[in-house]
Structure 1
Amino acid sequence: MLVSLLALVSWISVVTVVPAHGAGTKPVIVQNNDPLVHFHGRWDPAPETWWGSTGFKLHVQGLSSLTLKLGNHTTSPWVQLGVSINYGSFNTVNVSTGTNEIPLSLPSGETNDNEASSTSIVRINVPGWQDNRLELEEIVLNAGAKLLPYTPSKINFQFIGDSLSAGQYLPQIVDQAWPFLIGENFKAEHLINAQPGIALSDILAYGNVHGMSYEYFVTEDTQYYYTDYHNFTTPWNFARDQPPATHVVIHIGANDSGNNVTADAFTQTYLEFLSRLRTIYHTQPFLIFTPWGWPQSDGTVSYYYQGRYEEIVNTRHALGDHDTFLVNTTGWVTYEDVFPDNMHPTIAGHVKIAGLFQQWLENWGLHPESEWATPV
C-alpha cells in the first residue's frame, strides 16, 4: 500500500507554458460558468480560486488540445497548477495571464489503461497555499471536442488543517500532502482547507489575521488580507460543495499551541467549531486527529494539548453526537519522516501518514472505490 502511494507522487516535473497555437478552424469555447465543468473548492464569482487544491474537472470526448484563457487577477508572473490526465499523476504546469496551452501527454513511464477510449478526464487544481489565484475566463478545446458530464465519486473527503495538511515545503505542495494522497488512493473527491500558520482560534498567527474557526466559513483563504483588490471576505455557500462532503477530517492545533492559547481555551474553541460544523454536516463522520507531534533527533516527540482531543471527542459523545471519532496518530511520524530544519513531513513522510490513515479508515470500515466514478 505504501509502495502504491509512493508511486503516486514519485514523478515530478515542471513545464513552462508557451502561448497556445490554433487547434483547428472552429475551436470549442467553454464558458467559465458552463454547468458541465465540475468545479471543486472555493471559487469567488469572478471566478477566481482561493485555498490550495481548488480547481475543476473536465470529461471530454475527442480531446486533443486544451487551452486556458486567464484574466488579469491571475497570480503574476505565474501560478502553479497541478494537471492530471486520465487519473494519472499530477504534473506541475506554470500558467499566467492570457492564453495558456495545457500539455495533455501522460508523464514518462505512465500508461493509460483505456487508450482505446474516445474520452478523457482532465483534472486541474491550484496546489499552493499562497500565490494561488487563477482567474478563469474561458476554456478552449480543439475543434470536434465535446464536453460531457463528470460524475463525482460517492466519497468526498473534507480536510481541515494547517501547514501539516497543506503540504508546505513540498515541490507540488498540497498535491503531495497526505490529505490529497488519501483522496487519490480512495478514488474520491477531496476538498482541502488548510493554511500554514493558521490557528483554530480566531487570532493573529504567523501572518494569518484570522483563525480557522472564522476562515473555514468564508470563501477566501487568509491571503485575502494581502490582496489589494479583494481585501474582504464573503460567506461561503456550502451548497456549492457538490457532492456534499461525506467525511470531515480535522488536524489542527499546532499554531494555537505556538501562540500560547491555553488548553482550556483551545478545547472550548474546538467544541464550538464542531457545533457550528454540525449545522452544515448533520450526520457526516467527524474524524478528529490527535497531534503526531514534533519529533526530535534524540527520538523524543514533543506533543501539545495532550488529552484534550480525547476530551473533545468524549464531550461530543456526551452531547449525543456519536458520529465523532478520534484518530490517534501517536507514533505516526518520527524524525526520519520530517525535514530537520522545520519538523514538517517530507514527501515520504506524507506518504507514510497517508498509508497509516488509510489503514485506520479501512479498519474503521471505509474502503477505496474499486474504480473512478467517471470512466475513460
Structure 2
Amino acid sequence: MPGEGSRPAVAPAAGQPGDPHLKLVGRWDTTSSSTAYTPYWAGAYYRVGFTGRTVKLRQRNAIDLWARIDNGPVKFYNDVKGTVNLTPTALSSGNHTLQVNYQVIAGSYHGDAVFQGLVLDSGATTFAPPAPSKLIEFIGDSITVGTTSSQNARTAYGWLIGERLGTEHTQIAQGGACLVATSDGCVSLDRQFTKLNPNASTPDWDFSRYQADAVVINLGTNDAGHGVSSAQFQTAYGSLLRKVRTAYPRAWIFALETFRGRYVPQTQAAVQAALAAGDSRISFVDTTGWLDSGDLTDSVHPNDQGHRVITDRLAPLIAARIGT
C-alpha cells in the first residue's frame, strides 16, 4: 500500500488560498500560511472568476477594502472583518468576476490585510478571469501610493495608467520612503526594492512570480529632508537601476524627474551612466511643468486631478515603448 508521503495533495477548494484560478497581482506572501495570503506594498489586488449568485469574503480581522464585481461600481467596505457579504442583493445566475484590493494609508495597510478565502454558493466554482498580458511596476513614495487622493492607491497615477493601458499594475511604494538608506530610519527603496515587505530585511521577493514590461521610478522627494547628499543619491540611483534591470531584463525603465525638481542632475547622470554601460531600454522623463498648485492637495501630494494629469502625460510615453 502506498506510504503516507505518496498520497496526492488535496486540491484547494474553490476560492480558497491555493486556488489556481485566483490571480494575485503585486507582492503577496503565499508561503507563510496555506490558509491565508498577505499582500505587501501598496496597490496589491486579486481577481477571480466565480459562478453562482453570491460571494462573500473571509477576513481575519478588521480591514478597509475595495471590491468590484463584473463591471459594476467599485464599493468601499470600511473596517470589516469575519465573513463580509459582497452581494447583499443576489446577482444573476452565470459567470462573474471579482476584484479586491485593500485600502492603504501612507503605504501601510489600514488594518489586517489577510485574505482567507471566498464563500460561494453551494455547487459554485471558480474560473480564471481574463488577464492582461503586460504589467507595469511603479516604484516610489507617498506620491506613488496616492496619499491624499480620494481612494489612495486606486486613484494614484500608477493604478490609473495601468487601467487606461489595459495592463496589470503594481505600486512598490511606501509613504515617506527615500531612495537612500539614512541613519534616521527612512525606508530605502534601493535597499527594499528586492524584498517582499517594505519594512523587513527578509525574505527576498521571488521575481519569477511575475515580470514587468515597464518600470517607473519616482524617488527623491523625501531624501533631501533626510540629509542625503547629491553624490549619495546618484550612487544609490545607479544601484537601483541595476537591481531593476537584473529583476526585469526585458522591461523599459522610466526614471521620472521628481515633481518638486529634486536631485534632477543626479537622476539624469545615473540614467546616462546606465545608457553608457549598454542598457538601451531606459529613459529619463522630464516632468517640468506637469503639475501646478491646483493639481496638489498640499505642496507635495497630487490630488485626484493631479494624478489624472500625470496619467495623461505619462501613459502615452509608456504605451509608445511597450506597445499597449
Q: Same fold (TM over 0.5)?
A: yes
The letter of the residue matching 1:90 is: V
Do the aligned partners of residues 156 and 136 (structure 1) sit closer, same or farther apart at CA in structure 2, a change above 3 Å counting? Answer: same
The residue that corresponds to 1:351 in the other structure is: 308
Q: Which of 131, 136, 151 is equivalent to 2:115?
A: 136
CA contact (8 A) 1:156 1:188 kept: yes
The letter of the residue matching 2:301 is: H
Do the aligned partners of residues 103 and 201 (structure 1) sit closer, same or farther apart at CA in structure 2, a change above 3 Å counting? Answer: farther
The letter of the residue matching 2:203 is: T
The residue that corresponds to 1:60 in the other structure is: 50
Q: Which of 301, 310, 317 is equivalent to 1:360?
A: 317
| Secondary structure in 1 matching 2:294 | helix
Q: Which of 128, 135, 158 is equivalent to 2:137?
A: 158
The letter of the residue matching 2:55 is: L
- Alpha-carbon separation, structure 2, partners of 1:288 and 1:91: 34
Alignment of 1:220-369 (within 5 A): 220-222=197-199, 233-241=202-210, 244-293=211-260, 303-340=261-298, 342-362=299-319, 364-366=320-322, 368=324
- Alpha-carbon separation, structure 2, partners of 1:102 and 1:116: 14
Gaps of 5+ in 1: 1-27, 106-114, 225-231, 294-302, 369-376
The letter of the residue matching 1:278 is: R
Q: How far did 1:366 drift? A: 4.4
Q: Which of 78, 96, 105 is equivalent to 1:120?
A: 96
Please state if 1:43 is matched with 2:28.
yes
Q: How far did 1:159 drift? A: 0.8
| Secondary structure in 1 matching 2:222 | helix
CA contact (8 A) 1:60 1:146 kept: yes
Q: How far did 1:152 drift? A: 2.1
Q: Which has the higher contact order (CA 8 A, sep 6+)?
A: 1
RMSD of equivalent CA atoms: 2.4
CA contact (8 A) 1:263 1:305 kept: yes
Q: How far did 1:125 drift? A: 0.9
- Alpha-carbon separation, structure 1, partners of 2:283 and 2:226: 27
CA contact (8 A) 2:43 2:145 kept: no
Identity of aligned residues (%): 25
- Alpha-carbon separation, structure 2, partners of 1:134 and 1:240: 20
- Alpha-carbon separation, structure 1, partners of 2:270 and 2:227: 19
Gaps of 5+ in 2: 1-12
The letter of the residue matching 2:101 is: N
Alignment of 1:86-101 (within 5 A): 86-101=70-85
CA contact (8 A) 2:214 2:318 kept: no
| Secondary structure in 2 matching 1:96 | strand
| Secondary structure in 2 matching 1:254 | coil
| Secondary structure in 2 matching 1:133 | coil
CA contact (8 A) 1:67 1:139 kept: yes
Aligned residues: 304
- The alignment's TM-score, normalised by the length of structure 2, stands at 0.86
CA contact (8 A) 1:186 1:367 kept: no
